[in-house]
Amino acid sequence: MSHVFPRHCHAQLPTAVGGEGIWLIDSEGRRYLDGSGGAAVSCLGHGDAEVTEAIKAQLDKLAFAHTGFLTSEPAEALADLLIAHAPGELDRVYFVSGGSEATEAAIKLARQYWVEKGQPERSRLIARRQSYHGNTIGALSAGGNEWRRQQFGPLLLDVSHIDPCYEYRDRQEGETPEEYGLRAAEALREEIERVGPETVMAFMAEPVVGATAGALAPAPGYFKRIREICDEYGILLILDEVMCGMGRTGTLFACEQDDVAPDILCIAKGLGAGYQPIGAMLCSAGIYDAIAKGSGFFQHGHTYIGHPVATAAGLAVLRAILDRNLLPQVQSRGATLQKALESRFGQHPNVGDIRGRGLFRGIELVADRGTKEPFDPSRKIAARLKKAAFAHGLICYPMSGTIDGRRGDHVLLAPPFIISDEEITLLVDRLDAAMQEVL
Ligand code: PLP
């Protein structure tokens, strides 16, 4: 009997023993095509020799030095390289061990910023209903996924949730995507006015929504208007690129494609690419300076922040993305994947929408393509599809999301950037086989 506490208590999980490129191998020798990079993590695939070597070299040199006493070479080099490629005024990098830690740190930094600026009444965060920002209490408070939140109610922070930008469901007849984008962004202004602008510290959103929506990109102009509204009211903009950042959408940061820069940016998953647990929160010089010139101390921290081996891995991953020129490859393979999905499932009666950017693609599954009626939750479409795909040797990421009682199912695909055209065909074949079994 296993003594590991798994998330699904009754799951009988195979044991992973190896990884090669886009493949994972279990102890029985079965091979799984990693069509979602786990949960959009393994952007370089498995067994990358350069990243592995960089980790080994760092271990030979120095495994750990507590950041309360010392900084380290890889942490400094990774921060420099991230800032050299970061949008806008982002100037400082706070390293953590994963996505929830990054968003948690972002929420606390926003709060401390306003306290230090002499506006302690700014304590409210505004976020969106269709979002996931992590599983620790602060991050869970920010997220809008009711299924994940419901039993933790009394512990959650006071957060306002506004409607997401969800063109497939909410754009009205006769409205252009641009008009819809501007209208959707106005939900933020309305909420700020409703709760009182002087009480709001920040707005937080995923540029391309991952786990709760299946690669849902914003309508054109949405985030530009969001940025304008934040500026108008002096509210910080926090973008959560834990899933969609690090090249996943075809640019290093997804927000580049929306021509906006946040005050605080969260990354994780693809930063360590599965080789080490690492995340980061990037903030503007203005925010950093407010703390530096105020108390001089960010009231936050974990033992393993800025871990030398994790930052060495992150540095090797970022160098690989840049030096191997993987971003254009993500764009072209992403277009190939989108085309393949459209030609296979474009007319499927249960496929409502096929969407995304780069190698971050989603399929929204519906009971009725014409009315967009979601499946009844009792059919457990997402869970069954995950199981069926796995049996066909495909790892993909089907999820159900709950928004205001509306329930939807989708499949998220986020294969490693090194996936070939032939492997894309194989991925789609296996997904097709699983969908035929379940739908
Ligand atoms: N933010 C987003 C957008 C995510 O998708 C996730 C994880 O899926 C998180 C935060 C939390 O990251 P982690 O699971 O590394 O704590």
Which CATH number does the domain housing residue 305 bear? Answer: 3.40.640.10
Q: Which of 306, 323, 340 is the last residue of a domain?
A: 323
Please state the pTM of the whole predicted model.
0.98
Of the candidate ranges 34-38, 311-315, 374-378, the one whose mean pLDDT is the lowest: 374-378
Centroid of ligand 1 to alpha carbon of 334 (angstroms): 22
Residue 388: predicted pLDDT: 98
- Nearest residue by C-alpha to atom 14 in ligand 1: 99
Tell me which residue range forms the domain holding 336: 16-47+325-438
Residue 3: inside a domain:
no
- Nearest residue by C-alpha to atom 5 in ligand 1: 243
Q: Which of 323, 346, 371 is the last residue of a domain?
A: 323
Together in a domain, 201 and 299: yes
Side-chain half-sphere of 20: how many Cα atoms within 13 Å? 5
Centroid of ligand 1 to alpha carbon of 348 (angstroms): 31
Residue 7: predicted pLDDT: 87
Taken in order 155, 6, 63, 55, the sign of the CA dihedral is negative
Q: How high is the mean pLDDT of the chain?
A: 96
Together in a domain, 244 and 344: no
Q: pLDDT digit string (tens) for 76-106? A: 999 999 999 999 999 999 999 999 999 999 9
Domain count, the chain: 2
Together in a domain, 20 and 87: no
Residue 91: inside a domain:
yes
Quick one: which atom of ligand 1 is closest to the CA of 131?
3
Nearest to 434 by CA among 344, 346, 361: 344
Together in a domain, 101 and 215: yes
Provide residues with CB under 6 Å of ligand 1: 39, 98-100, 103, 132-134, 206, 210-211, 240, 242-243, 268
Quick one: which atom of ligand 1 is closest to the CA of 268?
15
Q: Which among 130, 240, 243, 265 is the best mutation to test ligand 1's pocket, defined by most ligand atoms within 8 Å of the CB? A: 243
Together in a domain, 243 and 313: yes
- Nearest residue by C-alpha to atom 7 in ligand 1: 134
Centroid of ligand 1 to alpha carbon of 289 (angstroms): 28
Centroid of ligand 1 to alpha carbon of 270 (angstroms): 11
Q: Which residues contact 115 (CB under 8 A, 6 or more apart)?
A: none
| Number of neighbours of residue 62 by Cβ within 10 angstroms | 14
Q: Which among 132, 137, 253, 271 is the best mutation to test ligand 1's pocket, defined by most ligand atoms within 8 Å of the CB? A: 132
User: Which comes out higher in pLDDT, residue 146 or 417?
Assistant: 417
Residue 12: predicted pLDDT: 87
Is the pLDDT score of 403 beyond 80?
A: no
Quick one: which atom of ligand 1 is closest to the CA of 101?
16
Residue 10: predicted pLDDT: 87
Is the pLDDT score of 404 beyond 70?
A: no
Together in a domain, 349 and 291: no
Residue 9: inside a domain:
no
- CATH number of the domain that 337 lies in? 3.90.1150.10
Mean local confidence (pLDDT), 51-72: 98
Q: pLDDT digit string (tens) for 352-380? A: 999 999 999 999 999 999 999 999 989 99
Together in a domain, 79 and 172: yes
ipTM of the complex: 0.99
User: Which comes out higher in pLDDT, residue 291 or 7?
Assistant: 291
Residue 244: inside a domain:
yes
Together in a domain, 38 and 171: no
Q: Which of 323, 350, 366 is the last residue of a domain?
A: 323
Residue 6: inside a domain:
no
Q: pLDDT digit string (tens) for 166-195? A: 999 999 999 999 999 999 999 999 999 999
Centroid of ligand 1 to alpha carbon of 160 (angstroms): 20
Quick one: which atom of ligand 1 is closest to the CA of 39?
8
Centroid of ligand 1 to alpha carbon of 252 (angstroms): 17
Together in a domain, 302 and 352: no
Is the pLDDT score of 207 beyond 80?
A: yes
Residue 63: inside a domain:
yes
Residue 430: predicted pLDDT: 98
Together in a domain, 303 and 383: no
Together in a domain, 345 and 316: no
Centroid of ligand 1 to alpha carbon of 1 (angstroms): 30
Together in a domain, 338 and 283: no
Centroid of ligand 1 to alpha carbon of 272 (angstroms): 13
